[in-house]
Structure 1
Amino acid sequence: MTAVRVDPTGLDAELLDCYDDNLQVLARHAGAADVRGPFFRDWGFTAEGPEFSREPVERRLREDTGLTVAWHPPLPSAVEACAALLAEGRPVLAMGDAYDMPWLPYAGHAHMTHSFVVDAIDGGTAGIADAYHNDTAWGSARPGRTEIDTARLAGLLGADARIATLEPAGPAMPLDPAEVMRANAEALDVSALRDYADRIRRLDDRPGTEELALACWLGVRSRTRYGRWLAALAERDPAVAPVADRFRDEVVPAWRRASERAYIARQRAERGRAVPAGAFDALAGPVADAEAAAAGTGVTTGGREHR
């Protein structure tokens, strides 16, 4: 057997997407001192996607932990490449189509790119770890382990398999939390959030409400992560408390309320019923207002820390 077992449990799976989930697993396995900061300290918004981060997670991971995501050619085959990396003590992050992954509720139902970790190959059997956490229309996904035969692994990876490892890339960079907060706050474009709400409002009811519900769901998770990062900082530095309090009391609750209204709007659209405009107003109004207020607090808090 060639195995480098990883533990996919006990991390922040319910707040991360599948790619970040399994990167966090590998970062912990590699001994990173901070396995939460790289995934929690980002606060941003762009309308493409929509995307709730300001910079790529790979950059934050490199800065905070000294680890880099290294992609490998799947040669002579994807399974053999995984086995070779495992033989060197390196568990493998792999990408494939969730439709073909029997351990997920998406199997046979929905096509989407999904990450998982190959941490063992024993003859014709591959050990799979996956930290993904989500509730879907077809059932729940929770962090855990499974085994599949290597022929099935080869099939779900495909001819153009994407496999990676986390590799040391030098020392972690000293992190100035106040500078991170200020950069996040100064870069936040609240007008982009309002423009996005107006754009999807003009879509047909069903696609518009589906996009709104997804955006709000992602927004709740993103702002919950950042709020928890701020709260941890505030325990050590009272100067961070004002913006941490705003996230706890205003930003996250505003996103949660918007998400609840978006869910109802989507349900109405699916039934062919009229969609209330207030679902979109919640995003363009209270959510955007709360983000703008928190951004202002984040800038002044960061400034005070440097005086």
Structure 2
Amino acid sequence: MNASAGPLSKASDTVADPLVEAIRGIDTTALDCIQVNAAVLADARHGPGSHVELGGQLDFVPRAGPHGLLPTVEEPAADRIEPMGDLLGLVLEGGRPMMDGRALLGLLPDDGSPLYVVGDAFRMPWLPYHDHQHMDHSVLLRAVDGGARVEAVDAYDNETPYGRAEPVVCSYDFGEAAALFDGSPALPVTVRAAPPAHPSVAEALARNAEGGRRLLAGDAPERYAAAFRDHPDQQEACAALLLETWLLSRSRRLHAAWVAHHLPGSPLASAAAGRAAAWDTLAGQCYLAARRVQRGRPAPPQIHPALAELLRADAESAVRAATEYSGEAMPHVPAQVRQTVVHTVADVLGAVPETVAATDDLSRLEGFASFQMVETVERLEDAYGVEFAAEDLDAAVLRTVEGLVGLVLRTTVGAEVAHA
């Protein structure tokens, strides 16, 4: 094939490209193969961090597999697309599945903007799954060189049994690109920008708590774990459990990013990060179990009770989070405000919080510029549910941690007096 491809290094210099720049600002290891390219579209359209709204919901809704297969938390790709768009500020409209590659590529916008497509990873040569495993996988396709060539942009990032998948841009002649989608159903999804319709932090936490209470009232975690433990074919069960814990681990990592984005430096953010790390550990144990069973050895017995325990811990944390955060405001204790400011600036700049805390002039930090100042201000306004007065947004105030802390404290105290 006359195709060119190259992995995207987040540290490399390339010609500015909105999709590539968006990928560089995303933790692609926190997203699955359907979410990740929708996340790229959201950040390219609405700015860095827009994609974390996908992490607001912390849920566990397994569905029964068909014909007695094992349960799964994985939803059909077609059912996920429109709800993802609502959260991301995108109108994602799925068309009818197509098996003619030229007809599919005929839907590419003439202006070079991307078409989101869900196809078969088995047919995508930039993926390790190529010629190995059939599975739904998203990709962004766009016309280049006046339509003579097609670029495939894919931000998927994962270690697979067949090798590593990493963010990549591939370029193909039109005919070669069309051949990749011949004979295998592909779902084209048109993309338009729209106002994000995500709920407030308090609403999201309350919804998560409601699901947590339902889970704690029954034995769903134990039944789910037992289905894998008691399955007669342990090779099949361990392979399926590996995928399940991978999906749950990524969703918990994305939820932790959502909490850190909206409640930076808070105890809720710390707790969410700890749970995400525990899920990552369990996914690693399930990988070990799958390898052992393939070699005729027993799976470590602790993985099944650990799975149920983590699901219960998620539910308990969801209930506790809604109780601890009423949605009225973040804590106004100066030390807590300072911690929030430090973590917010660190997140915006991609810096270490300790470095931010020790810097007396934030403009000396790498990446600090007008856009980052605006992003910091907006994040703090969202976190505390206030709007800073225009006359208080002096550059000297915004360049120091103490200046930002004082700005928050003055504004939140004023808001409390106004509502008293």
> Structure 1-normalised TM-score?
0.83
Q: Kindly indicate whether residue 194 of structure 2 is the aligned counterpart of residue 139 of structure 1.
A: no
Identity %: 29
Aligned residue among 112, 115, 125 for 1:92 = 115
Q: Kindly indicate whether residue 191 of structure 2 is the aligned counterpart of residue 177 of structure 1.
A: no
Aligned partners of 2:54, 2:295: CA distance in 1, in Å? 37
Residue equivalent to 1:6: 19
| Residue 146 to residue 60, structure 1, CA distance change in 2 (3 Å) | closer
Query: How many residues align structurally?
Result: 295
Which structure would you say has the larger Rg? 2
In structure 1, stretches of 5+ residues that fail to align are none
| Residue 6 to residue 71, structure 1, CA distance change in 2 (3 Å) | same
The 8 Å contact of residues 42 and 88 in structure 2, kept in 1 or not, is answered as no
Aligned partners of 1:221, 1:292: CA distance in 2, in Å? 17
Q: Deviations over 1:166-216 (max 9, x none)?
A: 1134x3336411111111121132542322101111112211211222222
The 8 Å contact of residues 108 and 143 in structure 2, kept in 1 or not, is answered as no
The 8 Å contact of residues 153 and 169 in structure 2, kept in 1 or not, is answered as yes
Q: Following TM superposition, by how much is the alpha carbon of 1:40 offset from its aligned partner in structure 2, in angstroms?
A: 1.8
| Residue 303 to residue 5, structure 1, CA distance change in 2 (3 Å) | closer
Aligned residue among 243, 246, 268 for 1:214 = 243
The 8 Å contact of residues 95 and 113 in structure 1, kept in 2 or not, is answered as yes
Bigger mean CA deviation after superposition, 87-96 or 99-108: 87-96
**Higher relative contact order (CA closer than 8 Å, sequence separation 6+):** 1
| Residue 270 to residue 90, structure 1, CA distance change in 2 (3 Å) | same
Residue equivalent to 1:266: 290
Bigger mean CA deviation after superposition, 129-138 or 181-190: 181-190
| Residue 92 to residue 208, structure 1, CA distance change in 2 (3 Å) | same
Q: Deviations over 1:31-78 (max 9, x none)?
A: 35752233221211122263279x94632532452x210234689x65
Q: Deviations over 1:2-59 (max 9, x none)?
A: xx97326312321111221111122233335752233221211122263279x94632
Q: Following TM superposition, by how much is the alpha carbon of 1:280 offset from its aligned partner in structure 2, in angstroms?
A: 0.8
Q: Kindly indicate whether residue 105 of structure 2 is the aligned counterpart of residue 79 of structure 1.
A: no
Residue equivalent to 2:307: 283
| Residue 69 to residue 90, structure 1, CA distance change in 2 (3 Å) | same
Residue equivalent to 1:166: 191
| Residue 304 to residue 283, structure 1, CA distance change in 2 (3 Å) | same
In structure 2, stretches of 5+ residues that fail to align are 1-16, 64-70, 330-420
Residue equivalent to 1:114: 137
The 8 Å contact of residues 52 and 219 in structure 1, kept in 2 or not, is answered as no
Aligned partners of 1:215, 1:161: CA distance in 2, in Å? 24
> Structure 2-normalised TM-score?
0.62
| Residue 74 to residue 82, structure 1, CA distance change in 2 (3 Å) | farther
| Residue 64 to residue 253, structure 1, CA distance change in 2 (3 Å) | closer
| Residue 32 to residue 305, structure 1, CA distance change in 2 (3 Å) | same
| Residue 45 to residue 52, structure 1, CA distance change in 2 (3 Å) | farther
Q: For residue 296 of structure 2, give the secondary structure of its aligned residue in structure 1.
A: coil
| Residue 64 to residue 268, structure 1, CA distance change in 2 (3 Å) | closer
Aligned residue among 252, 255, 262 for 1:226 = 255
Residue equivalent to 1:246: 271
Aligned residue among 19, 30, 36 for 1:21 = 36
